[in-house]
Structure 1
Amino acid sequence: MSNSLFETLQQDVKRLPGLPGVYRFFDEAGNILYVGKARNLKKRVSSYFQSKQLSPRIALMVGKIARYETTVTRTETEALILENNLIKELAPPFNILFRDDKSYPYVMLTGHQFPRLASYRGKVDKRNHYFGPFPNSWAVRNSVQILQKVFRLRTCEDSVFKNRSRPCLLHQIHRCSAPCVGRLSVEQYQQDVAQATRFLEGDHSRVLSELEKEMHAHSDAMDFEMAAVLRDRIADLSSVLQQQAMDTVADGEGDVDIIAVALMEGMVCVNLAMVRGGRHLGDRAYFPKGLRTASGELPPPAEILEAFIAQHYLQDANDQEGSTANLIPPVLVLNHSLHSVGDDVNESTEAPPEDLHDLLNAQAGKKITFLHQPQGQRRHWLAMAEGNAKIALTKRLVETGGQLARARALVDVLGLDLEGLEHLRIECFDISHTSGEATQASCVVYAKNAMQSGEYRRFNINDITPGDDYAAMRQVLQRRYANFQELPPEKMPQVILIDGGKGQVEMARQVLSEFGMDIGLIVGVAKGEGRKVGLETLIFADGREPLELGIDSAALLLVAQIRDEAHRFAITGMRAKRAKARTVSRLEEIEGIGAKRRQKLLARFGGLKGVANASIEEIASVEGVSLTLAEQIYRQLH
C-alpha cells in the first residue's frame, strides 16, 4: 500500500458512523480480503490504520487493502449474523475459515405403525423421530447394531417389509422380532420402540428396570420362554453398557459438545466430540483455513474457538431446513476461555461474547452453558478431545509433509514452472468397462496439494465399438476440454495424466492438437511388469523420452496415487451402471414380464439377486406371476 493511499484511507474512515455494522476489505484487484463486525464501525475500522504496532498477520492484510465497504446494522447481533453469512459465502483469505459441513448422520425411527430403524442424513421430517447428530457414520452404525441386538427393531425398507411371507435372516440370528409376519403385536413392538427411544435419550437405568419388571412378570405367569428372551435382552444391554467405556457418566448428563483447539508447527486443529444421551459418540477433527502468514503467527485459541462456534452452530438466514438448531446441545465444554475468567472455581461457567451467546440461545430455543474448567466425567472428555486434536494434527503434518515432497518431486521431474505448489493442478483420466459393457470414463482432480473429490466427474461413453479404449479416451477428452478457453486460470491443469500406454497418449495428443492446447501437458502412465507400483513408465506426447523413475521415486508415488484414485472412481461408477443395466435387461428379456410385474418381483425379493435366489414356488407367489411364468423366469436367471 502506498503512503498516499494509506493517508486517504485514514482520512476516509473518520467519516464512518459510530454504529454497529460489518466492514469488508478489498485489494487492488477487487478481491475480498477480510470480513469483520464492529460495535462501533468508526473506532474498529480506524484501528487498522493507526500508527500503533499491528500483529504480523494483520499488518500483512492491511498492506494489501485498497478499499473497504461497510454495512450498518441495528444491533451488534445483526452484525454477527451478517458477518457469519458473508464469511461462508465469500471465504475471505484472512478470516478463519472452517469447512461448512452440517451433513451429520442421525439415527431415525420412522413414524410407521411398526417403526423402522435406520441411519439418515438430510432434511428432517416431522413424522419421524431423530436422535443425534452423530459425528460420523461409524457412530451411527454402532448405535444401530446395539439397538438391533437389544431391542430387535426392523431395519428393512418398506417395500421389503410389506411383501415378506416368512422371517428374514436377521430374525434367525435374533436381531429382529419379525413384525412383518406377525411374530409380535403392535403394542409389543411399540413397547420395544419406547424402550429404544429412552435408551437413545440416555435413560439407561429406567430401561433396565422396566425390562427386569417385565421379565419377573412373565416368570410369575409361567411364561418362561418370554422371560428368557427378556433375560437375554437385559444381559445384552448390560454387556453393551459395560463395553462402552465412555458410558461411565451418570444418567442426567444429557447432551454435551466438547470443543478443543490444538496448535502445532503452524497448523491448527479443532476437535469436536459429541455426547448424546450420556453416551460419547466419537469426534471429528476440523482444520481451519486462513491462518498461515509469512511470519507463521497464529490467532489466539479464543479467536479460533469463537470462529468455529459461530460458523458451526449459527444457522444461515436463508437456511430453511430447520435442522441446524438440533446441532446445539445445552452444554459446550471448551479447552480455552473465550473471555478472561475471574476467580477460579470448581467448575467455571463463563459467558462467551454476549451477541454470540444470545444468538445461540435464540436459535436453540434454550439456554446454552459454556464450561471452561469442567469437573468429573466432563473433565476426562475434554482431556480426550485435546489428545485427539494433537493426534489428528500430527497425522496431518506427516501426510502434508509427505504429499508436498511428492508434489515438489513431480514438479522437478516434469520441469514445470510454477509460482508455488499450491498452483499445481493435475487431471487424470481412466476408462473402465467389463468386456465392453457399461463403459465409463473418470476424471479426478489433484489441486491445492490434495485430491479434490468435489471436482471429480464421470462420463458415460456411448456410440463406440464395445471395448475400444482408444475411442473412449478420445470421447472423454473431447467432452472435457471442448470449452477449455473459457476455463479460469486456476481450473486449467498443468498436467493431464492418462492411464494407458502409447495408444491412449496418441489419442490425447490428437484431441489436444485439434483444440489448440499444449500437448506437453500430456503424461501417460504405462503399467510395468505385473502391474506393480513403481515399475510404471511415464510417456509423453511432445517427443520427450519415456521416464522410468523407479520404485523409490516420490514423484512416481504421487502419480500412482492419482492414477489409482481415477481407477477406483471409474470402476465404482462402471459397476453401478452395469448392475442397473443388467437388472433391467435380464428381466426385460423374459416374455410376459412387463414393467409392473418386474417392479413387483424386485420389490418382493429386494432386487435381481433375490429373484435369482428364489425358488419357482416363491416366484409364483408374487401377484400376477403364474407357475408357468415362474418356471420360465427361473430358467432364464439360471
Structure 2
Amino acid sequence: MSEIDDQAGQDDGSEAALGAQVQAEWAAERAAVEAAEKLRVAEVEKAALLVREKLLAEVASLPLLPGVYRYFDAQDQVLYVGKAKSLRKRVSSYFQKDHGGTRIGMMIARIARMETTVVRTESEALLLENNLIKALNPRFNILFRDDKSYPYLKLSGHAYPRVSYYRGSVDKRHRYFGPFPSAWAVKESIQLIQKVFKLRTCEDTVFNNRSRPCLLYQIRRCTGPCVKACTDDEYARDVRNAERFLLGETQEVMDGLQALMMAHAEALQYEQAAEVRNQIQSLAKVLQQQAVDENSASGRDRDVDILAVKVQGGRACVNLAMVRGGRHLGDRAYFPKHVDDGAAVALADHEEEEGAGGVAAPRSVEQQVLEAFMAQHYLDAHVPSLIVVSDAVDSALTDALSMQAGYRVNTQAQPRGQRRIWQEMCVKGAELSLARLLSEEGSQQARTRALLEALDLNVAEIDKFRIECFDISHTAGEATMASCVVFEGHQMQSGQYRRYNIEGITGGDDYAAMRQVLTRRYSKLAEGAQLGTARLPDLVLVDGGKGQVSMAREVFEELGLDLGLIVGVEKGEGRKVGLEELVFADGREKVYLGRDSAALMLVAQIRDEAHRFAITGMRAKRAAIRTGGSRLEDVAGVGPKKRAQLLQRFGGVRGVAGASVEELTTVKGVSRELAEEIYRVLH
C-alpha cells in the first residue's frame, strides 16, 4: 500500500512539474511575443520618425513661391492635393501644429511622402491643383464626377443645313449651340425650330434620295428643300433666323420677319406675306411660353450659368441651371464625394493662407463645395461671362477662370430682377435634388441591412459591403457574353463593371460560360486575397438555380474560396417577378424572402442590372459579328465604293469573309495584295 502511495505521490509531483514547465514555456512564449510586438512598434515609430524628419527636411528646402503640393501614403495613394501662395509656409504649417484626432490630423498621420510643383501665379496654381484633383482622385479633396457629356443642338454644314441632336466631339464643319443641361432641352428646342423655322431633320442619305416630300412637309414642320418646295434663298433665310433665335437675338428676328411680311404685301404677294405672318405668330407664341422678359435676352444675360449649393446629412448637391440665348433651358444636379473630409482640409488651407498674422474670414462648407465645383467643372469647359451663385466665392477663382477663358468672368451672389428669380429656382432645385438623394440612399441602406439580416451575414462595416453579380447572355448560343456588376456603398458602382467574351465552349452551354467567367474573375483575386493585396466580395450572386450554383461551387472549391459567398437567384414559378428563391452553395436550404421583402428588392435590382449589362454587350457583339463591325472599313485601300462592291458581290460581310483570295480578286479594283490583306483582316 505504501508503494502505491509513493507511486501516486511521484505521479502527482511529475504532473505538477510538467504543469509548471508548460506554464513557464507559455510565459516565455508570451514574453517573446510581447517583446517582438514592442520591437515592431519601436521599429514602426522609428520609421515614422525617419519619414517625418525626411519630410521636414524637404519642407525646409521648399521655396517661398506659389505652387501645388501632393501628399501620398505608404501605398503611394494620393491623399490630398492643395495649392499655396507660399509653398514653404503652407506645407510647414501641417507639421508645426498638433491636429489631434481631427480629419486633417488623420490625413497627416498617413503622409509618407510629398511632391511639389512651383508655378508663377496663384491663378496658375489653382488651375494646376484642379487638373491634378481630376486626374488623381485624392482621398481628402472634394471630388465631382467628371461628366461633361452635355448634349448640343447641331446645324450641319450641308448646303441645306439639318438641325439635329448631338453629343460628342465638335467638328468645325458644323455649327453647335449649347451646351444644354439635358437631352429633353435639346429635343424641345428642335421642335420649336421645326414649328417656327421649318428646318429639315432628316438624315443626309434620306434627303439626297427623296422624290416626293415627307410627312413633315405635309404637317408644315419642314419647307421641303429635298424636292425644291422652297427656294434656296428662302431656306437660307430660315437657317439664319434659326441661328439668331438660338443666339438670343429674338427681337432682331421678329423685326426682320415684320419687314419681310410688309415687303411681300407691298409687292401684292399675299400668300408669301401670309406665310411670314404665320411664322411671326408662331415665334411670338414660343417667346411667350418661354417667359423671357426684356432684360433676360439682352447683353450678357444671353448666356448665364446659375449655381446653387445645398449641404445636409453629410451630403452636398450643386445644382447647375443654364440660360442660353436668353432662354432658361433647365438644370442638372451634381453630388460630390468626400465632402466632410475635403471641406475640413480645405478650410484649414484657407485659414493658413488668409489668416497669417491675423484672423481668417470664416468659410462655410457651402462655399468650399461651390468653389471646388467651379474649379473642376469649368477647367476644360466653356465658361459664360456671368455666373450667378448662391454663395460668394473667392476672387482668386474668378481670376483663374478669366485667365483660362480669355475674357472677364464675373460672379454675382446677390442678384436682382430676373437673375434673382433664376437663383431662387436653382436653389429650390438643389434642395429637391438633395432631398431625393438622401431618401434614395436611406432606402438603399435599409435594403442592404435587410439583406444582411435575411442571409445572416456578419459584416464589420455595412458601408463597405460588396456584392458582385454575374449573368450570361447569348442568342441561341451566338455571341455569348458574361457580365459582372458591382454593388458597394449602398449603390451600383458602374465604373467597376466588367464584361467577358466567352469563347471555346459549346454554344448555349450556360454552365460552361459561368465556369469560365468565375474562373477568370477570381483566380487572380484569390491569390491577391491570400497575400492581402486584393479584396474578395462579401457576396457573389449568380443569375440561376442549382445548376449555376453547382458550377460556381466547383470553381470556388478549386480556388479554395469560401462557399458561403455564393448565392444563386432562382426564378420562381412561371418566372414571375417577386417569386425568386435564393439557392446556396454551402448546403443551406433554399430561402424565399417574400414578394415585398426589401432584401429581395435589392437582389432583384442587382440581378436586373447584371442582365441589362450582359444583354447590351451581347447585342453589340452580335451586331459586330453579323456585320463584320468596322474590320472591313479598317482595311487600307478599301473605301466606300470597293466596300459596296464587295458586299454586293458576296452578299454581305459573312460572304466576304468566306471568300478565298482568288474569289476576292474577281471584284473590280481588288488586287492580289489587297485581297490577301482583306482575307487576313477578316480571319
TM-score normalised by length of structure 1? 0.81
Question: Post-superposition shift, 1:462?
Answer: 5.5
Distance 2:269 2:647 in 1: 43
2:214 maps to 1:168: yes
> In the alignment, which of 130, 139, 144 is matched to residue 98 of structure 1?
144
Structure-to-structure mapping, 1:105-124, within 5 angstroms: 105-124=151-170
Distance 1:465 1:37 in 2: 58
Distance 1:17 1:419 in 2: 45
Structure-to-structure mapping, 1:92-491, within 5 angstroms: 92-245=138-291, 249-252=295-298, 253-293=301-341, 300-315=365-380, 324=381, 327-339=382-394, 352-353=395-396, 356-436=397-477, 439-461=480-502, 467-481=508-522, 483-485=524-526
Distance 2:536 2:269 in 1: 74
Question: Post-superposition shift, 1:400?
Answer: 0.8
The corresponding residue for 1:57 is 103
Structure ranking higher in helix proportion: 2
The corresponding residue for 2:635 is none
CA contact (8 A) 2:564 2:584 kept: yes
SS for the counterpart of 2:146 is coil
The corresponding residue for 1:560 is 604
Superimposed CA distance per residue, residues 217-267 of structure 1 (whole angstroms, 9 cap, x where no aligned partner): 334444444333333322222222222246675431211111111111221
SS for the counterpart of 1:49 is helix
Distance 2:627 2:215 in 1: 23
SS for the counterpart of 2:340 is coil
SS for the counterpart of 1:22 is strand
Distance 1:69 1:7 in 2: 14
Relative to 1, partners in 2 of residues 1:295 and 1:234: Cα closer, same or farther, differing over 3 Å?
Answer: closer
Distance 1:432 1:197 in 2: 46
Question: Post-superposition shift, 1:144?
Answer: 1.4
Query: Structure 1, unaligned stretches of length 5 or more?
Result: 316-323, 340-351, 586-593, 602-638
Relative to 1, partners in 2 of residues 1:517 and 1:162: Cα closer, same or farther, differing over 3 Å?
Answer: farther
The corresponding residue for 1:636 is none
Question: Post-superposition shift, 1:296?
Answer: 9.4
Distance 1:65 1:584 in 2: 52
SS for the counterpart of 2:317 is strand
2:538 maps to 1:494: yes
The corresponding residue for 1:527 is 571
Letter of the 1:287 partner, please give it. Answer: F
CA contact (8 A) 1:57 1:295 kept: no
SS for the counterpart of 1:444 is strand
Distance 1:373 1:266 in 2: 26
Letter of the 1:291 partner, please give it. Answer: V
Deviates more, 1:248-257 or 1:8-17: 8-17
Distance 1:581 1:14 in 2: 62
CA contact (8 A) 2:526 2:559 kept: no
Superimposed CA distance per residue, residues 326-347 of structure 1 (whole angstroms, 9 cap, x where no aligned partner): x2001011111124xxxxxxxx
SS for the counterpart of 1:34 is strand
CA contact (8 A) 1:423 1:490 kept: no
Distance 1:93 1:424 in 2: 19
Aligned length: 569
Letter of the 1:549 partner, please give it. Answer: L
Question: Post-superposition shift, 1:12?
Answer: 5.9
Relative to 1, partners in 2 of residues 1:431 and 1:53: Cα closer, same or farther, differing over 3 Å?
Answer: closer
Superimposed CA distance per residue, residues 590-622 of structure 1 (whole angstroms, 9 cap, x where no aligned partner): xxxx96379799xxxxxxxxxxxxxxxxxxxxx
Distance 2:297 2:461 in 1: 54
Superimposed CA distance per residue, residues 332-387 of structure 1 (whole angstroms, 9 cap, x where no aligned partner): 11111124xxxxxxxxxxxx11xx33332232221111111111100111111111
Letter of the 2:432 partner, please give it. Answer: I
CA contact (8 A) 2:483 2:613 kept: yes
Distance 1:172 1:599 in 2: 37
Relative to 1, partners in 2 of residues 1:485 and 1:245: Cα closer, same or farther, differing over 3 Å?
Answer: farther
CA contact (8 A) 1:432 1:440 kept: yes
RMSD: 3.2
Superimposed CA distance per residue, residues 278-317 of structure 1 (whole angstroms, 9 cap, x where no aligned partner): 11111111111122359999963222222111111123xx
Letter of the 1:330 partner, please give it. Answer: S
> In the alignment, which of 546, 550, 554 is matched to residue 590 of structure 2?
546
Distance 1:26 1:493 in 2: 27
Query: Structure 2, unaligned stretches of length 5 or more?
Result: 1-43, 348-363, 630-641, 650-683
Relative to 1, partners in 2 of residues 1:551 and 1:158: Cα closer, same or farther, differing over 3 Å?
Answer: same
Relative to 1, partners in 2 of residues 1:444 and 1:4: Cα closer, same or farther, differing over 3 Å?
Answer: closer
SS for the counterpart of 1:510 is helix
Distance 1:237 1:160 in 2: 28
Relative to 1, partners in 2 of residues 1:570 and 1:178: Cα closer, same or farther, differing over 3 Å?
Answer: farther
> Which is greater in Rg?
2
Question: Post-superposition shift, 1:29?
Answer: 3.6
TM-score normalised by length of structure 2? 0.76
Relative to 1, partners in 2 of residues 1:557 and 1:173: Cα closer, same or farther, differing over 3 Å?
Answer: same
Distance 1:169 1:466 in 2: 45
Identity of aligned residues (%): 57
